[in-house]
Structure 1
């Protein structure tokens, strides 16, 4: 069975994944759960809060310590000036209770383990030109299986600073502000799978610079409100090195509100890490599409609008003439 109506319905169905990867979407586009960062911005004039409550068990075999950590992850994102630019704050405030097994003593450390501000800018979007990504209206399989071109990612760059305020017990001796740069990529492997990767160089110019990377793959179910993810994150530096593995779920409660849960662990014993995070994302949507006057821009659209105005004027003149003749 084939008809123009059926083709239009199929076209709308297959365009949904492409629309969902645009800068602004009708549904919230959160970096949660996990720590991997999308290549895309939230959209101009969109304010978005992403928050998580953290519990972590951390034991260090080399120091004979046991730790319980309670904390809050926070990201505040704002679409600045235009669709491809985002101002983002990321912070983690934790309270760590450390028990020194050999000494039988306890110590509490409370401060920011992550505190940074920066700008993210999209420099390449493979979905910007819809002509290059038209769906195949005659083959469901062609639109839903992996294709090599799907590996071509959207790319954004990041530039900002990490802040160490006061006497921070987690980063003793660090400067108040140190540069941080990064690259983020995002590939749509299929309509239900998205791959995100990040590379960042942090605390540049200090005695303890740090490389980090993250790679996350997410999958949405037939019920699009539910999705799952698997993520690996690595750190390499003289102060701290480890690989963390995370997995979890997200549920879309409303177009502007998402809840999530994930758990994870590290691979080292100095320290060993096991953690769980319960979070949510909420946005205030002040986005407005820019209206372009097609008549002032000319082109085919301008001609159509001009012709419509001319026809309207002709009809008005004809009505006036008919009244006079009567």
Structure 2
């Protein structure tokens, strides 16, 4: 318990020192380590992180699992917000159980060992100064930016399902909470710290932490060192891991890792090999500006597509409602139409009617021909 208190105090001191867009041009995978970055993959990204692993124990005790071989898959995506991510963790493995009854010393079983769903949200993102633009002072350009000591922070909330193999079943659904921290100490070195409280409400409720340091040799190759501690009522597990990752393209990464797990008097060896792949459907958000820097609001295009029956019916009722509103606001009188009398009608009223008018018109025409 004294060790746990020291670790909690250490993380409290670190957290007291407490990239806006989450999307990156290249894939950002959590593999091959066990820690999780506080950053989301970005909206429109569908990312798969998967691999095979093998775990073996040197000392075989009763009711233990000396050997395991399995497949792990993590699916990550984001829909509504750049800072919000949803993920699913699935593990299928074959285990060798050391003891079943007095007649058999071991047996094999295959099933799901983990199926959980979670979400994380970046609550604080640390921004750093661009030292490359500092040309007046060599010392200031190469000085350490103390803002890098303040980590970016995300909150994780998840749930562990009970759809697992019998040897991994608990009382039922159990929640999981965590704090995810990341310090980018330089462009090549970053430190990720995770603190979790898992299986809450069960007899096997667990406190755990992970510290991972990742260093990038160049744009393609990177390596990591990791330490993990897990504590519950029945046992204490600590492990140290290392590995390497190769970025073979903007959307594809290959990795390999190994670690040693110390479980009481038992030492376990772990090896993993996997890859990460993403489907990029990200649409960047930007604003159009005019010459004065004001945001241009684009007008919604008018659809020329012919609407179906229900669409036309809806427009008809909207038109009636709008027309009714106009009549209530403006009580205009109906214009009075006046009939304009024609030239022929005027002539009828003056002399002898229509036939007299024709005679006068003909007589006027004959006088014009005779030169009168």
Q: Report the equivalent of 2:86.
A: 87
Q: Where is the strand percentage greater, Structure 1 or Structure 2? A: 1
Q: Report the equivalent of 2:184.
A: 188
In structure 2, how many angstroms separate the alpha carbons of the residues matched to 1:66 and 1:207?
20
In structure 1, how many angstroms separate the alpha carbons of the residues matched to 2:139 and 2:50?
38
- Normalised to the residue count of structure 2, the TM-score between the two structures is 0.68
Matched, 1:260 2:255: yes
Residue by residue over 1:222-281, the C-alpha shift from the partner in whole angstroms, topping out at 9 and shown as x without a partner, is x22000000011111124420111100000000000000000011234542101000100
Name which one, 1 or 2, has greater alpha-carbon Rg.
2
Q: Secondary structure at the match of 2:131?
A: coil
Distance 1:249 1:166, change over 3 A: closer
Q: Is the 8 A contact 1:58 1:69 kept in 2?
A: no
Deviation at 1:60, TM superposition (A): 4.3
Gaps of 5+ in 2: 1-18, 298-372
Deviation at 1:59, TM superposition (A): 4.1
Deviation at 1:148, TM superposition (A): 3.0
In structure 1, how many angstroms separate the alpha carbons of the residues matched to 2:262 and 2:107?
25
- Within 5 Å, which residues of 2 pair with 1:277-292? 277-292=272-287
In structure 1, how many angstroms separate the alpha carbons of the residues matched to 2:256 and 2:186?
24
Q: Secondary structure at the match of 2:255?
A: strand
Residue by residue over 1:134-189, the C-alpha shift from the partner in whole angstroms, topping out at 9 and shown as x without a partner, is 32433677556644321111100011201111652123x421x2111111011101
* Matched positions, count: 276
In structure 1, how many angstroms separate the alpha carbons of the residues matched to 2:193 and 2:129?
22
In structure 2, how many angstroms separate the alpha carbons of the residues matched to 1:254 and 1:272?
37
In structure 2, how many angstroms separate the alpha carbons of the residues matched to 1:145 and 1:276?
39
Q: Is the 8 A contact 1:59 1:269 kept in 2?
A: no
Q: Which moved more, 1:186-195 or 1:144-153?
A: 144-153
Q: Is the 8 A contact 1:211 1:235 kept in 2?
A: yes
Q: Report the equivalent of 1:41.
A: 40
Q: Which moved more, 1:233-242 or 1:100-109?
A: 100-109
Deviation at 1:43, TM superposition (A): 0.4
Distance 1:163 1:270, change over 3 A: farther
Distance 1:166 1:33, change over 3 A: closer
- Within 5 Å, which residues of 2 pair with 1:46-195? 46-63=45-62, 67-100=66-99, 105-127=105-127, 133-136=129-132, 137-138=134-135, 146-165=144-163, 168-171=166-169, 173-175=170-172, 177-195=173-191
Distance 1:66 1:59, change over 3 A: farther
Residue by residue over 1:104-143, the C-alpha shift from the partner in whole angstroms, topping out at 9 and shown as x without a partner, is 632113233322101110000012xxxx623243367755
In structure 2, how many angstroms separate the alpha carbons of the residues matched to 1:103 and 1:263?
35
- CA-based RMSD of the aligned residues comes to 2.7
In structure 1, how many angstroms separate the alpha carbons of the residues matched to 2:158 and 2:30?
18
In structure 1, how many angstroms separate the alpha carbons of the residues matched to 2:70 and 2:61?
24
- Normalised to the residue count of structure 1, the TM-score between the two structures is 0.77
Matched, 1:225 2:220: yes
Matched, 1:24 2:19: no
Q: Secondary structure at the match of 2:293?
A: helix
Q: Secondary structure at the match of 2:147?
A: helix
